[in-house]
A and B are shown apart, each in its own frame.
Chain A
Amino acid sequence: MKEGGKAKKKKDKVAVTRSVVLTGVGGQGTVLAANLLARALLAHGFDVKTSEVHGMAQRGGSVVSMVRFGESVASPLVPHGEAEAVVATEMLEALRYMHFLAPGGRVICSRTRIDPLPVLQGVQEYPENAEELIHENAPGSMMVDAIEIAAEAGSARSANTVLLGILSLSLPVTEAEWLAALEEVIPERVLEANRRAFFSGRALEPRAAPGGATR
């Protein structure tokens, strides 16, 4: 920080911006999950920016939220090929946003399939090999039965929190900071279930996981 001109410093700051893309289907809680992640990162002392889509989110459409963090974040939108993780509560949506991944980036995805209208209507086909496609394109990816794990933790609706628990292993945020963020963002009546869901995810050993997570 001491040496170099202004431009140099600016460049260094921008270069360390890290990104996560969260995706799912309207109503699955993607916006809430992004907010939770952002607050945990803020608690750790990062500059944070998120981007989300409102309006259509409750009409069953494809939803994507983005979270960026670092010393000084510029764009709230993640450039293509720069996300270290795509966190997805639905497999088709993981495929749709995978191209945001940086080389070596991974998908953390719930083994959940929600057929969109063209599939329900028999007009288009759901990619039957979704899981393979994800692994093929991003070899370090992780598929989990997040809804089952969340249900075991107390609420099937906190699948997103399970996935964030897995993601948390690759972030410098401390458990205390995560807990503070959970308390800040999650409504009281489902807080305990979300806490448990988070730690179920965080404790998840890829091969020993309930439901058999795969890498």
Chain B
Amino acid sequence: MPEQLLMMGNEAVALGAYHSGVAFASAYPGTPSTEILEELSRFDGVYAEWAPNEKVAMEAAVGASLGGVRSLAAMKHVGLNVAADPWFTLPYIGVSGGLVVVSADDPGMHSSQNEQDNRYYAKAAKVPMLEPADSQEAYDFTREAFRMSERFDTPVLLRLTTRVCHSRSIVVTSEPEKAPPVPYVKDAVKRVMIPGHARLRHPVLVERLAELEKFSEGFPGQRKINGSGDAVVVASGVAYQYAREAFPDVSILKLAMTHPLPRKLMRDFLGSFKDVYVVEELEPYLEESVAALGLSPRGKDSVPRVDELNVDRVRDAFPELAGGSKGKKPIKEIKGLPARPPILCAGCPHRGIMYVLARLKAIISGDIGCYTLSVLPPLEAHDCQVCMGASITMGHGLYKALEIASGGEGADGPLSHRVVSVIGDSTFFHSGLTGLMEMAYNDGRFTVVILDNRTTAMTGFQDHPGTGVTLKGQPTAAIDIEMLARSLGIESVHVVDPYDLEECRRVLREEMKRDAPSVVIARRPCVLLERGKERIPMSVESEACNDCGLCLRLACPALVKRGEEVVILEDACLGCGICAHVCRQDAITTV
């Protein structure tokens, strides 16, 4: 019996996959995609796992597909970069059980380092792509994607964006189907991509693309919505929702399958209008294709190419389509309000070690995780950061370059020895390990600090290969980072407690001087994992305090300035004691 549910787009994808009989799902957590696997893991009969990274997740899903079951891999947009290697060859070998890859893009960079447009990945790899515009379509298109995958012997890209992933809307489900495993058959010519085989397969892809385009022409999701006037808007995904609200009277071509595009349908329908407008987030992906048909669309000349869209931005881009201004914005945005950036929590074990590194004037090559927040004032403890796992590898290059450039001693010792790479435990397992090999193999004489807080904190406390627990909550082997580092031939490996700042300072100072590869593991569970534990808050003895403000440089939300005085908010303080270590007057003690 069909149900009517209010679901996030991510939940709808999970339910759609479940109702499609998906048997295998793998992912690495990443906003805005994380909930897809969390939801899938709750269904009986679905094997769901956290992979160390997206490349692993995709390859595992490919193997599962070849093994005959319907499979899914989910990732955030930048995760597809990590998985790009299998991605481009995967269409050559095709599928056995249906295979769906979900890419959750993040226009506006709510929780990301860039806003790349992954629609180009579908085009570049000759993979069909569906773009849902709400949770209903997220559910329906996931189911359609599995069917398409098997029918056309290809992986299918389901491309979501933040406002589809994290918006709730109504979903009406349809009859669940069973997907019995396809018996395993060896087919090496199709599945072993030596050049001789790949040359045979590439033409198959090109033919398949032509077949897919015919399918796209008749795909019911490609909707022609007739309005009034001689203008038409082309849109897909959530941009369609903004367009239909901003321009309620205008005709719309709402595209759902955006690779390959239905060129004949587009030429016929759009050609019947005087003016063609394209409303899309980020890159002019659709606009380029419309222009290639010989039409002259308006698009990125007015629609912003950066940041996410909304109804206001779409209306402002083409006011001529909006039919008269709404003329009512009575309250102006209040300017000059204090910002409220995300911050490291009170009691966060990252805080002290980032403070110490900043005081030691370390050149910090950072990574992706909560600790990156320490780049903000007053800690200002980062020099560079680009993507998952890059801290160690960039640190290695930085070290080598500074060695070459300085040719030896600087005023405070060799500058190259101030290079410190900082990486979290989950990120280390994601893609830090190869960096550590680079350091060990190529004699990078700098320091790597692994902030081991026993979880993937920023995305909401997911397990990883170091925690000893799987996504399904089963106990499993926990990888020992210390032994791992030693096994690479790194002799200097230390474990410190990040609450003990004296120890951290002593060890880090020594390790930064050391003329050899060095690893320091700062181990303490994320304070949010320890909620409910007994805590003894700290307090400031006002007679002893000389208001120097040094403790404020820790940027702890429990440590505040009231007038000239520094006080500790008892409710907020978790008693980590890092501030007591910092205070030179010994004015901070337990209550």
The 8 A CB mask of B331-369 against A (1 = contact, 0 = none) is 111100111111111000000000000000000000000
Interface status of A207 (Cβ within 8 A of chain B): no
Central interface residue in B31, B163, B248, by most chain A CB within 10 Å: B248
B560 touches A99 (CB 8 A): no
Interface status of B471 (Cβ within 8 A of chain A): no
**Which of chain B's residues have a CB closer than 8 A to the CB of A95?**
334, 337
B311 touches A59 (CB 8 A): no
Say how far B241's CB is from chain A's closest CB, in angstroms.
5
**Which of chain B's residues have a CB closer than 8 A to the CB of A92?**
337-338, 340
B340 touches A138 (CB 8 A): no
**Which of chain B's residues have a CB closer than 8 A to the CB of A6?**
225-227
Q: Bound complex: CA of A98 vs CA of B329, how far in Å?
A: 11
Say how far B540's CB is from chain A's closest CB, in angstroms.
14
B241 touches A75 (CB 8 A): yes
**Which of chain B's residues have a CB closer than 8 A to the CB of A119?**
338
Chain A, residue nearest B308 (CB): A77
A99 touches B333 (CB 8 A): yes
**Which of chain B's residues have a CB closer than 8 A to the CB of A127?**
337
B168 touches A48 (CB 8 A): yes
The 8 A CB mask of B137-166 against A (1 = contact, 0 = none) is 000000000000000000000000001001
Chain A, residue nearest B112 (CB): A55
Interface status of A140 (Cβ within 8 A of chain B): no
Interface status of B499 (Cβ within 8 A of chain A): no
Interface status of A73 (Cβ within 8 A of chain B): yes
Q: Bound complex: CA of A188 vs CA of B181, how far in Å?
A: 40
The 8 A CB mask of A195-208 against B (1 = contact, 0 = none) is 00000000000000
A34-64 with Cβ < 8 A to chain B: 35, 38-39, 42, 47-56, 58-62
A102 and B328 in contact, given A7-B248, A54-B32 (Cβ under 8 angstroms): yes
Say how far B455's CB is from chain A's closest CB, in angstroms.
12
Category for how many chain B residues contact A: 35 or more
**Which of chain A's residues have a CB closer than 8 A to the CB of B561?**
120-122
Stretch at the interface among B67-75, B265-273, B406-414, B551-559: B551-559
**Which of chain B's residues have a CB closer than 8 A to the CB of A120?**
552, 557, 559-561
**Which of chain B's residues have a CB closer than 8 A to the CB of A33?**
none
Interface status of A118 (Cβ within 8 A of chain B): yes
Say how far B322's CB is from chain A's closest CB, in angstroms.
11
**Which of chain B's residues have a CB closer than 8 A to the CB of A52?**
166-168
Interface status of A124 (Cβ within 8 A of chain B): yes
Interface status of A103 (Cβ within 8 A of chain B): yes
Q: Bound complex: CA of A54 vs CA of B459, how far in Å?
A: 8
Q: Which of A54, A60, A77 contacts B342 (CB 8 A)?
A: A60
Q: Which of B169, B378, B459 contacts A49 (CB 8 A)?
A: B169
Interface status of A179 (Cβ within 8 A of chain B): no
**Which of chain B's residues have a CB closer than 8 A to the CB of A122?**
552, 561
Q: Bound complex: CA of A96 vs CA of B334, how far in Å?
A: 7
Q: Bound complex: CA of A62 vs CA of B338, how far in Å?
A: 11
Interface status of A151 (Cβ within 8 A of chain B): no
**A interface residue numbers (CB < 8 A to B):** 5-7, 10-11, 14-15, 17, 25-26, 35, 38-39, 42, 47-56, 58-62, 73-77, 79-81, 92-93, 95-96, 98-99, 101-103, 115-122, 124-127, 133, 137-138
**B interface residue numbers (CB < 8 A to A):** 6, 31-32, 34-35, 110-111, 134, 163, 166-170, 225-228, 238, 241-242, 244-245, 248-249, 310-312, 315, 326, 328-334, 337-345, 370, 373, 378, 458-460, 528, 552, 555, 557, 559-561
Q: Give 22 CB contacts A-B under 8 Å.
A: A7-B227, A10-B227, A11-B248, A14-B248, A26-B342, A39-B6, A42-B6, A48-B168, A50-B167, A51-B166, A55-B111, A59-B342, A76-B163, A79-B315, A81-B328, A81-B330, A93-B340, A95-B337, A98-B331, A99-B334, A103-B328, A117-B557
Q: Which 9 A-B pairs have the closest CB atoms?
A: A55-B111, A61-B342, A59-B342, A55-B31, A76-B167, A116-B340, A74-B245, A124-B338, A62-B340
